[in-house]
Amino acid sequence: MPESNNFATKTLRGSGLRATPTRRAIIDVLRTTNSHMTASEIIQSLNAKAKTYDQSTVYRGLSDLGRVGLIAESRMSPGDTVYEWISQSNHHHLQCTNCGRTMLLDTQLVQEFISKVHSRHGFHVNATHLIVSGTEHACP
């Protein structure tokens, strides 16, 4: 935990941003939850810890943390943006457009895809968090 806090602080400072109490609190919530959360869920979790966090300050913090690459912002369904802490490893998702279910996508498959795109098109893909939308076979 302290190691991740040091990493986050260094990343923020390296981008010209301060490790404010709000930014640190957002990071702590996302790291300890270890799942996707909406901004409302993050604000609710922050406010449950005694201090009241201003909604606009939290949204700015989420934007800043995403811009420097500490958290990922994803559109999991229409109108539903979620955030998550980016661990040191890449991870990717499959998402069913019918039921909204999300599952992890095998990183090896993504790496093979990225390699083929590079070899066939000379295009370098920067994919640390990829969401592939489609319809799950078992979904009605």
Between CA 112 and CA 101 the distance in angstroms is 24
Question: Domain range spanning residue 96?
Answer: 91-134
Claim to verify: residue 78 and residue 96 sit in the same structural domain:
no
* Residues 77 and 117 occupy one common structural domain: no
Instruction: Give the integer Cα–Cα distance in Å for 109 and 27.
Output: 29
Kindly state whether residues 57 and 25 are assigned to the same domain: yes
Q: What is the pLDDT of residue 42?
A: 94
Q: Domain tally for the chain?
A: 2
* Residue 116, domain CATH: 3.30.1490.190
Q: Pull the structure tokens for residue 105.
A: 């996508």
Is the model's pLDDT at 4 over the cut of 60? no
Q: Are residues 123 and 102 in the same domain?
A: yes
Domain-located, residue 122: yes
Sheet holding 71-77, edge to edge: 37-38, 80-85, 71-77
72-81: pLDDT as tens digits:
887 766 677 8
Average pLDDT, the chain: 83
- Tokens 């955030």 belong to residue: 83
Task: Assess whether 13 and 48 both reside in one domain.
Answer: yes
Does one domain contain both 30 and 14? yes
d(C-alpha 125, C-alpha 32), whole Å: 30
Same domain, 106 and 76: no
pLDDT at residue 134 in the model: 87
Whether residue 105 sits in one domain with residue 75: no
In a domain, 100, yes or no: yes
